[in-house]
Amino acid sequence: MKLFRLRIIRTLLFVFALTMGAAFEARGQGAKLQLDKLQRLADKAAETVDVSLDNQTLQVASKFLKSEKPDEAAIKQLIAGLKGVYVKVFEFDRAGEYASADVEAIRVQLRTPGWSRIVGVHSKRDGDNVEVFTWLEGGNIAGLAILCADPTELVVVNIVGAIDLEKLSQLEGKFGIPKLNLEKGRQHE
């Protein structure tokens, strides 16, 4: 009987250790999303975009930006605190070529502690869904994730590192950054 209890205690300790290890591993993931599982969609997609810029690549790229040019200086300053930019875009010829489980694999990561959804737009008419999430560390934005899903397109953008939204808003309409026409000081839900 004593040996049986000892086995149960050891088993429980082992399960607890595994659970805690998984929790620490998920927490240690930080603002960088795991997007590898989406790669299988590339075979089904008519068009794909795959951008993977780590810290080192961003720093090399920033050396080509001129500090004396205001727009380039702003971009250089913006990317100085970034650790990575990751983009996956899959465009399909027909609806239904990717599964809701593909999107859910990303959403599961965005439900972990540290992530907060700040924008959610859903259209039943068109099937368009756009969500924006921030990763906070010490009260500062240390990551951004944008998830856009419609019947024929799936887009995931993941920016890792210190993000100054004021500086980002100054670049609206330049260098391919969309003009969002956000009014300063206005709260959006």
Domain match, 97 and 140 both: yes
Do 56 and 20 have their domain in common? no
Do 46 and 108 lie in one domain? The reply is yes
Residue 7 domain boundaries: 1-30
Taking the model in full, what pTM does it have?
A: 0.73
Shared-domain flag, residues 122 and 146: yes
Q: Are residues 26 and 45 in the same domain?
A: no
* 182 belongs to a structural domain: no
- Mean pLDDT in each 10-residue stretch from start to end of the chain (189 residues)? 41 37 45 92 92 89 86 83 91 92 93 92 84 91 92 92 78 57 42
Closest CA to 153 of 59, 62, 75, 45: 45
pLDDT of amino acid 23 = 35
Using a 10 angstrom Cβ sphere, with 0-12 exposed, 13-18 middle and 19 or more buried, the burial of residue 117 is middle
- Residue 171: predicted pLDDT: 62
Q: Are residues 62 and 13 in the same domain?
A: no
Please indicate, yes or no, whether residues 101 and 118 belong to a single structural domain of this protein: yes
Residue 18 has a pLDDT of 37
